Amino acid sequence: MHPYLSMVNLDRTTLDLVVVCISVISMLVMLAVWRINRGIPGTGVWALAASITAPAFLVMRLIGVTDVPKALIIAINNSLALTTVLLMLEGTLRFRGYASHQRWRLGLVLIPLFVLLAFVNRDDMIRRYLFHDAIAAALMLANAFILIRKTRDLELLAAGIGALSMSAMAAAFMLRWHLAFSADDNAQLAGHPLLNVVYLVLVLCLLSWTYGVSACCNLRAQNSILQMAREDVLTGLPNRRHVDEILDRAIAMSARNQQGFGFILIDLNHFKAINDRYGHQAGDLLLKEVAKRLKSFCRHADFVGRIGGDEFVAITFGVNQESQLDRTLLRLKKMLVGPCIIQGHTVNIEAALGSAMFPTDGRTADRLMQAADQRMYLDKSVPDNILAAVTQRAAL
């Protein structure tokens, strides 16, 4: 044996106590994370994975204490461990938005297969590690990749902690697989001092993974709260607060780059009459339909929002000429107006539009809003004329 390897021998009883404590802590933390963040996909599956991990380590303490054969206990441990890794992957996929009932059913089929193979290999340590650790390492690497895929900024930092932990687990599994592959017999492998080191690394990485996914859940919950504060609950469009932020940002950016943009104010005609005739629920459905049409109108670089009641706004970037804004107004009005079915009733959507262009009509948000509001009321005075929206400037 290499002299340095003799220095890494760890007391097994103490190691088992540490491992059990860490696994129980991980389970309790993940259960708390799930209870607090039930609305976040994947947390329940992660909590289930952590809940299986603790028994997987606890069952190892039965070796030498009960009459249950050691090989059987190890087989149970291996079955639970592989199931845990599979559930961790499923939780990560759901957290990242890749939910699939078909994949979930396939995963449930794999669990009995893991159990079967673990019991088949229970008496052969080398064969057991060659099978177990190859699968575990592959699943862990897939976990790490999916967790950090298409993330950035603070999300990347939080996800990176969990991904790094899972990559370290994969490395530990691969090291143990290498030890099994290089061993001449089971006795040589069982006596290798690095096995306890791998055991400790795995459980420490489990604790690190728990911290990483907890941070991911906390960040997502905070982002969800911020989004709710800036999103209109009914239509899902940005609310007045978000509109003001985007408008101020557009003014600053356009002034810096010396580029124009168009600001469009939209008001629904006869909305109160629809509410009075069909009820407020029908009015809400009409607002959702208008929001849907606005979203389909909006190009990737444009912005639409609801500022309250039946008033909406659209900001179109890269507009430097009045003719460009006029064409946008005409296209928007054609898309908005027209019939729709609300609770079995045919309702005709009518909208008045008013526009202002930065910097021609103003260099502040208040001035742009005022100019667009004046032109909107001019358009409202001739609602049947679809060209009124593009002839407003001549009237002022």
Q: Are residues 203 and 331 in the same domain?
A: no
Q: What are phi and psi of 366, to 5 degrees?
A: -65, -40
Q: Identify whether 234 is part of a domain.
A: no
φ and ψ at 330, to 5 degrees? Answer: -65, -45
Number of domains in the chain: 2
Q: What is the pLDDT along the chain (396 residues), one digit of tens a residue?
A: 444 444 455 577 777 788 888 999 999 999 999 999 998 999 999 999 999 988 888 887 777 777 888 888 888 888 999 999 999 999 999 999 998 989 998 888 888 888 888 888 888 999 989 999 999 999 999 999 999 998 988 889 999 999 999 999 999 999 999 999 999 999 998 888 888 888 889 989 999 999 999 999 999 998 888 878 888 889 989 999 999 999 999 999 998 888 899 999 999 998 888 888 889 899 999 999 999 999 988 866 689 999 989 999 999 988 888 888 888 888 898 889 889 998 888 888 889 999 999 999 999 999 999 999 999 988 887 756 655 666 555 555
Q: Which residues contact 172 (CB under 8 A, 6 or more apart)?
A: 198, 201, 202, 205
- The whole-angstrom separation of Cα 206 and Cα 192 is 23
CATH of the domain at 350: 3.30.70.270
Is residue 331, in this structure, part of any structural domain at all?
yes
Q: Which domain holds residue 115?
A: 5-229
Please check whether residues 194 and 315 belong to one and the same domain: no
Residues 37 and 137 in one domain: yes
Residues 6+ away with beta carbon under 8 Å from 259: 317, 318, 320
Q: Is the dihedral of CA 76, 78, 81, 85 positive or negative?
A: negative
Do 294 and 337 belong together in one domain?
yes
The structure's pTM equals: 0.73
Question: Do 117 and 156 fall within a single domain?
Answer: yes
Distance, in Å, from the CA atom of 20 to the CA atom of 55, rounded to the nearest integer, reads: 9
- Alpha-carbon 350 to chain mean position: 37
235 within domain boundaries = no
Show the tokens assigned to 145.
């990749």
Q: What CATH number is given to the structural domain containing 135?
A: 1.20.1070
Give the integer Cα–Cα distance in Å for 276 and 151.
47
Domain check: are 70 and 102 in the same one?
yes
User: Do residue 43 and residue 156 come from a single domain?
Assistant: yes
Instruction: Out of 229, 256, 284, pick the residue that ends a domain.
Output: 229
Both 224 and 294 in one domain: the answer is no
